[in-house]
Amino acid sequence: MVTICCVCNKTKTDYGWQDKNISNDELHSHGYCPKCAEKALEEIRLHRRETVLTSM
């Protein structure tokens, strides 16, 4: 099964995350590459801080 980043569409390989097209015949799953995961987590942290500050 091939893992594809749901944000940047990079494909996880044995050598890391790379720009690679997969065929429609391959089974695939979506996840986050490390770079996109860190960006998403930072956005969540920022949103939490904003939510806490506005609710006070």
In terms of residue numbers, what domain contains 28?
A: 2-55
* The predicted structure's pLDDT at residue 21: 77
Q: Are 44 and 36 in contact (CB under 8 A)?
A: no
Q: Which residues fall within 8 angstroms of residue 33, CB to CB, at 6 or more apart?
A: 5, 7, 8, 10, 12, 17
Residue-wise pLDDT for 1-56, tens only, equals 889 999 999 999 899 999 977 777 888 899 999 999 999 999 999 988 877 667 65
| Amino acid at site 26 | E
Measured distance CA(13)–CA(20) in Å, rounded: 9
Domain count, the chain: 1
